[in-house]
């Protein structure tokens, strides 16, 4: 059942938040050993929150559509009094003293927080294999990856462990796992959702967004967490529309751009066929399909893998083994403490990105790499600006292939990074995008369709996604 159905049943007394929460906690107990999506289940806290939700419903005051709805959180969102590890050794015992703004908003709405979800360490990865808790497994095929870095958040929805979850998207980390797990994932516009309380990877790219089993549920959750926050200077003062209601409008007359650069040599034939079928369906629903070009797409990955590691290097400098987090026990002096604590605390992928980032920011290389990447970023944004002068949204594949085998690309970073070739340009331009299922391979693996919108035009991408979902 979706959120609207459950909301009606909770209000009518046909079920209770306590019973609903218990059923999901039981489901997690049965399934989590297989897929490893949850790293921490907050059973006691969840049942307490469910009881408070039942009291709120009985009183008839302050009820929202999320009151009593079980939700999971990616383990880099700060939760007051509850461990937040970023799937890393350096923060394995870190307990925040405050809630992230999105967590507070969910709690204020009466949602029930079931626990924290597995991820690639510090959100760095495309497969959810870089975690101290072990890899997450795709519920559609447990020998395959769920996508990353928000793999636990996507897998939890696919396995029916939650009604909705929150993840983060720095270069595709919501949309890519959503595609590979066959669920809906939304990356909002940069500035739409507060990042306060999010453990930062790359501050100019990170955004928090929802996962759900359908478009309407994702729209309801985004509406609840979006909005200006004075605690986040990048959070903009923009009204938050009723996404779920506006999504029901038809798409007749909408102009949808299809960029030739996203249908590339080497893309899986089944992915291409499914996406083309989805485009045909959108045309039948009344949308006008137009070919467009985004010429700097070929530079997006190289640009991203300079800017993101540079910001990662700066953000992760705060983990020094002194103020909080893992501190080495065998250090000889302060310099040795820094080196040992960081070497012991960070995984290989995080260390790799810190080294790349430090290199491109160093004297003599800043202009050659980082400054040039920022110039290319501007060109990528201009590509989208030019395209949106003639279309209302852009439709592409989410990923070039379906989920690959666990371990298949772990020793080949370049091949791993290519999994995000269709998603990173959106982050560089700060745009909103949604991934939703558009078919399966012959072996039953999900395929994702990506819809990209204008800045702060989540309404249109929800409309397109909802109409496709209802007729596919």
> Does the annotation count 88 as an active-site position?
no
Length of the chain: 472
Q: Which residue in this structure is represented by tokens 């796992």?
A: 177
Which stretches of 93-189 are assigned E, i.e. beta strand? 112-117, 164-169, 184-187
Give the DSSP letter of residue 298: G
For residue 58, the tally of other CB atoms under 10 A from its CB is 11
CB 50 within 8 A of CB 111: no
Choose, from 149, 150, 189, 419, the residue flagged as catalytic.
Answer: 149
CB 74 within 8 A of CB 117: yes
Choose, from 88, 126, 150, 173, the residue flagged as catalytic.
Answer: 173
| Residues β-bridged to residue 453 | 393
Distance CA 196, CA 233 (A): 9
> Does the annotation count 173 as an active-site position?
yes
Distance CA 190, CA 181 (A): 24
Distance CA 168, CA 119 (A): 10
Choose, from 37, 65, 74, 454, the residue flagged as catalytic.
Answer: 74
> To 5 degrees, how large is the angle CA 63–CA 152–CA 78?
60
Q: In sequence order, what are the residues at sequence separation of 6 or more whose Cβ sits closer than 8 angstroms to the Cβ of residue 439?
A: 270, 273, 274, 277, 278, 446, 447
- Beta strands 288-292; 255-259: pairing state: parallel
CB 221 within 8 A of CB 243: no
Taking each continuous run of H as one helix and of E as one strand, the counts in the chain are 16, 11
Give catalytic residues, as residue numbers: 74, 149, 173
């Amino acid at each position: 059942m979706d959120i609207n159905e459950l909301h009606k049943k909770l209000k009518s007394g046909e079920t209770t938040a306590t019973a609903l929460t218990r059923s999901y906690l039981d489901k997690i107990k049965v399934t989590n050993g297989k897929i490893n999506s949850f790293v921490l289940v907050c059973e006691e806290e969840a049942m307490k929150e469910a009881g408070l939700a039942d009291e709120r419903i009985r009183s008839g005051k302050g009820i929202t559509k999320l009151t009593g709805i079980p939700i999971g959180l990616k383990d880099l969102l700060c939760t007051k009094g509850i461990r937040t590890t970023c799937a890393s050794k350096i923060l394995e015992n870190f307990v925040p003293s405050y809630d992230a703004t999105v967590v507070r908003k969910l709690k204020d709405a009466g949602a029930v927080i079931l626990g924290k979800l597995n991820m690639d360490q510090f959100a760095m990865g495309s497969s959810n294999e870089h975690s101290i808790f072990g890899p997450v497994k795709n519920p559609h095929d447990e020998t395959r990856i769920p996508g990353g870095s928000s793999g636990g958040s996507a897998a939890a929805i696919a396995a029916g462990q939650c009604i909705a979850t929150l993840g983060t998207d720095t270069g595709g980390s919501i949309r890519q796992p959503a595609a590979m797990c066959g669920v809906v994932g939304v990356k909002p516009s940069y500035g739409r959702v507060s990042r306060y309380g999010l453990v930062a990877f790359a501050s100019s790219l990170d955004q928090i967004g929802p996962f759900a089993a359908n478009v309407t549920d994702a729209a309801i959750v985004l509406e609840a967490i979006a909005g200006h926050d004075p605690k986040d200077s990048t959070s903009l003062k923009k009204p938050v529309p009723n996404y779920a209601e506006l999504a029901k409008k038809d798409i007749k007359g909408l102009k949808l751009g299809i960029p030739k650069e996203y249908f590339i040599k080497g893309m899986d034939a089944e992915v291409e066929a499914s996406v083309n079928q989805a485009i045909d369906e959108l045309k039948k629903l009344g949308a006008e399909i137009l070919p467009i070009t985004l010429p700097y797409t070929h530079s997006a990955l190289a640009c991203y893998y300079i800017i993101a590691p540079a910001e990662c290097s700066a953000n992760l400098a705060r983990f020094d083994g002194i103020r909080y987090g893992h501190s080495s026990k065998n250090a000889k002096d302060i310099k040795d403490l820094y080196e040992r604590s960081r070497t012991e605390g960070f995984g290989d992928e995080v260390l790799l990105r810190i080294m790349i980032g430090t290199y491109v920011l160093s004297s003599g290389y800043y202009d050659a790499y980082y400054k040039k990447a920022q110039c290319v970023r501007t060109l990528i944004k201009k590509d989208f600006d030019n395209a949106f002068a003639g279309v209302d949204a852009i439709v592409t594949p989410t990923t070039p292939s379906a989920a690959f085998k666990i371990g298949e690309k772990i020793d080949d970073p370049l091949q791993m990074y290519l999994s995000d070739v269709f998603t990173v340009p959106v982050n560089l331009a700060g745009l909103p995008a949604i991934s939703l299922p558009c078919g399966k391979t012959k072996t039953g693996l999900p395929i994702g369709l990506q819809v990209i919108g204008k800045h702060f035009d989540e309404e249109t991408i929800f409309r397109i996604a909802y109409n496709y979902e209802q007729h596919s």
